[in-house]
Chain A
């Protein structure tokens, strides 16, 4: 149940991000759209790996080897999520850096002002 709610939230966030990215003209807002999409994806990753009533995938007193396959939360998606977050942060940083440079040359952040090359 929990994972279903989280999954739905994540997917909704992805869609909201996509919507924002396509409807807002301001470059910063577009970047926020991308961030939302990224965050949504990360939430989806975590939701996929979640096991109801599961526990941390550390084999100790709380989790015996025999229970590991049924009760432990899948550790792989968490590892993926961490990597994806790092990459997402780097990409957002690059985008923001370009936003600054774009603003410097046109003094505007409207995406419509940057259509120099076409056809």
Chain B
């Protein structure tokens, strides 16, 4: 009985029957109509859901026979796993959409019901002509729904849509007929079985007609202006159903007919690629929300059209479900949610979306949808893309991987720009026109994305629950957002300490040290957040996610876990930067460079997977000599993330413009993530043949970064920008140290990394204190603060000494180790550059102390007070760390050295030198004693010089000037030596991208007749590209 009620055929009975009954119920009363409508949709959802459930438990697909005859003599339909999955997802979305439709006239409900039923017909039918009929049912229902809006533009757009889809379905009808003429078959299974008999010019033309219709219905570039216009002008819930539902039906039809197009698989993928890349390119230039979503929708269909035929060609049946299913539901839930949100907001222009800014719930949902549509974790699109890239790599299809990633980057660019606008624009008076109830279906989509993301993650192979710990902590904090901010911070502290502790307990070696460093550093620096007590909406949840992701990264054992956590860090830090709304453009830059970096890592892991067949990170160590590409890709990605010279353009903005406490975390802690990645990645290089040359290249890049960073820092008047460039410079040292690929080099790298974390943490907190007290960021406006902020001054002085490499603090040890390691390896050039960079470093560091704390005090600064205790505590803790490292270096170096030893055991180039001998390089007592004496003498000389007045004669040619001419001369030199080539390069690239988008979109003239012509051209091009010209000759013979 229950089985009978839940038989898939009932979907059509309910759909059509409901359609007929709704007008009758309308006579009974309005509420009756709505109730019948909802019951019908719920019934369809239940039936398809039950089918999915049964099929997942291993039941055989249900065959639905009609007309009392067996196929091919009668139409049959099938409810298999894929069918039930598509049908259920579409039904579920349609059921949520009821919220917008049930208040309409009964005609609307009727059309909506028919539309949903038609889509399922397209999914389930196994008869070609029946497919045409369902396509027409869907189309006609769509035409009706599109008429809901009376605006002129909407009517014109609908007419364009009408003409185009009628043309496309005529193609389908002709294709079906020609196929019937050649084979006498309409049954799809039969046709696939007898694929070999479809030959000759007619058979070929038949296939191309069918293919043309399906592709055109998916709105391919450039024959898709009509689709865009409808997306732009339709009522948002109707546009949502076209984008999610109708496209799903058409795409499934294509999927089902793919075996027929075996000779055209690559052509289909190429057309998909064209659509994916160009839609997302033009999307960059959009200012209208729904049109932007239209470009994105079309792009997503392009992505599916790339994935399905390629995976089919590779016979990757296992990957097919995750990739196609994942991309499909990701697009369905996210895009439908975004369209509904567009309806809720009711603003056409992107910048007017700022009305969302003061609604935390809506903003969170918007964020989830944007992250999901960009294919980022933890949503299904991420797992699907991961699987897609891995599978394509196994098939050696690297060009396709590049296409997928470039398109994804473009899409992320405009999606996140939009998100930034929603937070950033000046507050507007007029709010959202719709009630809160309209938000619930959108929340539903976000929730579905979360759930399906978790399931897809399991399918992709992320079984570890710990990977979700950061997100879980974020969720807890989000629930508690009403508590006072200090209480929230304490909860963050507790959660991160407990969770982070659990994460690191099971680690050992370098992973343990790094996890410890990142966790402790993050926790200490986060204390500074207490300095602000204002409401920071979303800040604490994000902080929790980020602080917990940091120690989770070293925990990763597979490349999937690594990328997942990596993206969590990227996303959480991006949203943290975005907390300061003025930083929106810098945050976007940061995100895009980080995503590009992550894509390089993804490619590296894909190559590794193709070479070794493993996704385990330990595969890096057993990689063979041909793994040089892996190392190159990893190095490029990690150098981008580290802000190496040339790709450093994102760094100053992100570090300088974010909130002061976030800057400290970014520069001190998050920057170490790429260092950890480099250490992991270098294992590969040791084994591969070209490693030594590549390592030298990386070493030079590191040193150039150091030197350029130092010079740029010296030119800066902005306090935080100076520190940002200083960060870049210091990271260069670490990169160079890793590139040495010797035991000593690695010890140095870790030592320098720890030192930089401590030092830069202090300095950014010093900057935070100064900005908090004076409200000024420009160095020239400050001065003489040592008297009013003595503790801050002391902390800054200690940090500067420790960073500069002056004895007796840790920086000196770091430099000493670095120089020793370089000399040992014979890297005289880089060693020389280290000295040069150290000298340039002295200049900006001296200026930092001199201009801010010493010199004449500005009158306005007299009333200033010392920094708040919440900023001083972390500084004190960090200073304690510096002292510990400086005077008891063995405490750190011994575990470091031990951590490295086992991993190098088999491959180490390092010969014959015992640990004691390393300490010989850096045994603090005698070296330090000497250094202290030497510097005392130098200081004495300097003091004498100054006393005698010679110094000011040298340094201050202009008497009375605040800046010494020596400094001026040097900055001139630095300016000449650091031409803004990188900025020009990236600016030029951006300019070229947007202007090409601007030029390409002129294609879309808005004239429906022109669009018809495009469709005809598209068909002819498809025919020719598939090799149809050959058949024309044959016909002449």
Residues of A within 8 A of B (CB): 14, 18, 21-22, 25, 27, 30, 34, 37-38, 41, 44-45, 48, 76-77, 80, 83-84, 87, 90-91, 94-95, 97-99, 101-102, 105-106, 111-112, 114-119
Which residues from chain A contact B143 at a C-beta distance below 8 Å? 94, 98
* A-B pairs with beta carbons under 8 Å apart, 17 shown: A22-B1009, A25-B1009, A41-B174, A45-B177, A76-B186, A77-B177, A80-B180, A87-B136, A91-B162, A98-B143, A111-B1009, A116-B229, A116-B233, A116-B1006, A117-B156, A117-B229, A117-B291
Nearest opposing residue in chain A for B159, CB measure? A98
CA–CA, A110 and B135, complex, Å: 29
Nearest opposing residue in chain A for B186, CB measure? A76
Q: Which of A38, A91, A97 has the most CB of B within 10 A?
A: A91
With A21-B1012, A34-B163 known to touch, is A116 a contact of B157 (CB < 8 Å)? yes
Given A98-B162, A118-B1005, 11 further pairs, Cβ under 8 A: A21-B1009, A27-B159, A30-B163, A77-B177, A83-B129, A98-B158, A102-B156, A112-B1007, A117-B156, A117-B291, A119-B1004
Which residues from chain A contact B1007 at a C-beta distance below 8 Å? 111-112, 114-115
Which residues from chain A contact B1016 at a C-beta distance below 8 Å? 18, 22
Nearest opposing residue in chain B for A87, CB measure? B136
Q: Which of B44-52, B147-155, B256-264, B698-706 is found at the contact surface with chain A?
A: B147-155
CA–CA, A80 and B1007, complex, Å: 33
Which residues from chain B contact A41 at a C-beta distance below 8 Å? 170, 173-174, 177
CA–CA, A97 and B155, complex, Å: 11
Are B181 and A48 in contact, CB atoms less than 8 angstroms apart?
Answer: yes
Encode B151-189 as 1/0 by CB contact (under 8 A) with A.
011011111101100100010011011001100001000
Q: Is B18 an interface residue (CB 8 A)?
A: no
Q: Which of A22, A80, A90, A118 has the most CB of B within 10 A?
A: A118
Within 8 A of A (CB), among B683-716: none
Are A30 and B1009 in contact, CB atoms less than 8 angstroms apart?
Answer: yes
Q: Is B225 an interface residue (CB 8 A)?
A: yes
Which residues from chain B contact A99 at a C-beta distance below 8 Å? 159
State how many angstroms separate the Cβ of B141 from the closest Cβ of chain A. 10
Which residue of the partner chain, among A91, A111, A114, contacts B140 with CB atoms under 8 Å? A91
Which residues from chain A contact B136 at a C-beta distance below 8 Å? 87, 90-91
Within 8 A of A (CB), among B759-807: none
Nearest opposing residue in chain B for A81, CB measure? B177
Which residues from chain A contact B364 at a C-beta distance below 8 Å? none
CA–CA, A98 and B230, complex, Å: 14
Interface of B, secondary structure class, is helix
Which residues from chain A contact B133 at a C-beta distance below 8 Å? 83, 87
CA–CA, A76 and B72, complex, Å: 12
Are B177 and A116 in contact, CB atoms less than 8 angstroms apart?
Answer: no
State how many angstroms separate the Cβ of A93 from the closest Cβ of chain B. 9
Q: Is B228 an interface residue (CB 8 A)?
A: yes
Are A48 and B180 in contact, CB atoms less than 8 angstroms apart?
Answer: yes
Which residues from chain A contact B159 at a C-beta distance below 8 Å? 27, 95, 98-99, 102, 114
State how many angstroms separate the Cβ of B712 from the closest Cβ of chain A. 40
CA–CA, A83 and B147, complex, Å: 25
Query: Which 7 interchain pairs have the tightest Cβ spacing?
Result: A118-B1006, A115-B1006, A114-B156, A116-B153, A117-B229, A119-B1001, A87-B136
Q: Is B1002 an interface residue (CB 8 A)?
A: yes
Which residues from chain B contact A87 at a C-beta distance below 8 Å? 133, 136, 140
Are B170 and A38 in contact, CB atoms less than 8 angstroms apart?
Answer: yes
Q: Is B1013 an interface residue (CB 8 A)?
A: yes
Are B1008 and A111 in contact, CB atoms less than 8 angstroms apart?
Answer: yes
Are A77 and B155 in contact, CB atoms less than 8 angstroms apart?
Answer: no
CA–CA, A45 and B170, complex, Å: 12
CA–CA, A84 and B173, complex, Å: 8
Are B153 and A117 in contact, CB atoms less than 8 angstroms apart?
Answer: yes
Nearest opposing residue in chain B for A37, CB measure? B170
CA–CA, A115 and B139, complex, Å: 22
CA–CA, A97 and B153, complex, Å: 16
Q: Is B144 an interface residue (CB 8 A)?
A: yes
Are B144 and A94 in contact, CB atoms less than 8 angstroms apart?
Answer: yes
CA–CA, A48 and B680, complex, Å: 67
Which residues from chain A contact B162 at a C-beta distance below 8 Å? 91, 94-95, 98
Interface of A, secondary structure class, is helix
CA–CA, A52 and B650, complex, Å: 76
CA–CA, A99 and B1004, complex, Å: 22
Which residues from chain A contact B352 at a C-beta distance below 8 Å? none
Which residues from chain B contact A115 at a C-beta distance below 8 Å? 156, 1005-1008
Which residues from chain B contact A77 at a C-beta distance below 8 Å? 177, 180
Q: Is B237 an interface residue (CB 8 A)?
A: no
Which residue of the partner chain, among A98, A101, A118, contacts B225 with CB atoms under 8 Å? A118
Which residues from chain A contact B661 at a C-beta distance below 8 Å? none
CA–CA, A9 and B228, complex, Å: 36
State how many angstroms separate the Cβ of A11 from the closest Cβ of chain B. 9
State how many angstroms separate the Cβ of B22 from the closest Cβ of chain A. 18
Are B153 and A90 in contact, CB atoms less than 8 angstroms apart?
Answer: no
Nearest opposing residue in chain B for A102, CB measure? B155
Encode B67-83 as 1/0 by CB contact (under 8 A) with A.
00000000000000000
Are B166 and A34 in contact, CB atoms less than 8 angstroms apart?
Answer: yes
Are B152 and A116 in contact, CB atoms less than 8 angstroms apart?
Answer: yes
Q: Is B232 an interface residue (CB 8 A)?
A: yes
CA–CA, A91 and B225, complex, Å: 21
Are A76 and B229 in contact, CB atoms less than 8 angstroms apart?
Answer: no
State how many angstroms separate the Cβ of A65 from the closest Cβ of chain B. 16
Are B180 and A76 in contact, CB atoms less than 8 angstroms apart?
Answer: yes
CA–CA, A31 and B1004, complex, Å: 22
With A34-B163, A80-B177, A94-B144 known to touch, is A106 a contact of B152 (CB < 8 Å)? yes
CA–CA, A14 and B1013, complex, Å: 15
CA–CA, A25 and B1009, complex, Å: 8
CA–CA, A105 and B153, complex, Å: 10
CA–CA, A93 and B158, complex, Å: 14
Are A117 and B233 in contact, CB atoms less than 8 angstroms apart?
Answer: yes
CA–CA, A72 and B155, complex, Å: 48
Nearest opposing residue in chain B for A91, CB measure? B166
Within 8 A of A (CB), among B1002-1032: 1002, 1004-1009, 1012-1013, 1016
Are A22 and B1006 in contact, CB atoms less than 8 angstroms apart?
Answer: no
Which residues from chain A contact B1012 at a C-beta distance below 8 Å? 21-22
CA–CA, A30 and B173, complex, Å: 20
Within 8 A of A (CB), among B345-400: none
Q: Which of B152, B158, B225, B232 has the most CB of A within 10 A?
A: B152
CA–CA, A99 and B401, complex, Å: 46
Encode B113-152 as 1/0 by CB contact (under 8 A) with A.
0000000000000000100010010011001100100001
CA–CA, A114 and B232, complex, Å: 15
Which residue of the partner chain, among A22, A27, A118, contacts B1004 with CB atoms under 8 Å? A118
State how many angstroms separate the Cβ of B913 from the closest Cβ of chain A. 67
CA–CA, A90 and B158, complex, Å: 16
Q: Which of A41, A84, A105 has the most CB of B within 10 A?
A: A84
Which residues from chain B contact A48 at a C-beta distance below 8 Å? 177, 180-181
CA–CA, A106 and B1016, complex, Å: 28
CA–CA, A21 and B228, complex, Å: 21
Which residues from chain B contact A119 at a C-beta distance below 8 Å? 285, 1001-1002, 1004, 1006
Which residues from chain A contact B140 at a C-beta distance below 8 Å? 87, 90-91, 94
State how many angstroms separate the Cβ of B427 from the closest Cβ of chain A. 30
Which residues from chain A contact B225 at a C-beta distance below 8 Å? 118
Which residues from chain A contact B166 at a C-beta distance below 8 Å? 34, 91, 95
CA–CA, A99 and B1013, complex, Å: 20
Which residues from chain A contact B1013 at a C-beta distance below 8 Å? 22
Which residues from chain B contact A101 at a C-beta distance below 8 Å? 147, 155
Which residues from chain A contact B177 at a C-beta distance below 8 Å? 41, 44-45, 48, 77, 80
State how many angstroms separate the Cβ of B779 from the closest Cβ of chain A. 46
CA–CA, A115 and B232, complex, Å: 13
Nearest opposing residue in chain B for A99, CB measure? B159
State how many angstroms separate the Cβ of B163 from the closest Cβ of chain A. 7
Nearest opposing residue in chain B for A34, CB measure? B166
Are B1006 and A117 in contact, CB atoms less than 8 angstroms apart?
Answer: yes
Q: Which of B181, B233, B1005, B1016 has the most CB of A within 10 A?
A: B181
